[in-house]
Amino acid sequence: MSPVMKHRLIGCLLALGIYGVDQWSKNYVTKVLGIDEIGKAMEIVPFFDLRFTRNFGVSLGMFEATSPEMRWGLVLVTGLIALVVTVWMLREKLFGDILGLSLILGGALGNIKDRFDLGYVVDFADLHFGDFRPFLIFNVADAAITIGVVIILARAVFMREKEVDDLMTTKAPDAAENTQ
Q: Which of 97, 114, 126, 142 is catalytic?
A: 142
CA distance 108 to 35: 23
CA distance 106 to 94: 18
**CB-based contact 89:14 (threshold 8 Å):** no
CA distance 153 to 33: 36
Which segments of the chain are extended strands (E)? Answer: 41-45, 48-55, 121-127
CA distance 72 to 80: 12
Q: 94 φ, ψ to 5°? A: -90, 130
- The helix/strand/coil state of 13 is helix
Active site residue 123: yes
Give the CA count within 13 Å in the CB-facing half-sphere of 75.
15
Q: Which of 22, 114, 123, 126 is catalytic?
A: 123
Contacts of 176 (CB under 8 A, 6+ apart): none
- Catalytic annotation, residues: 123, 142
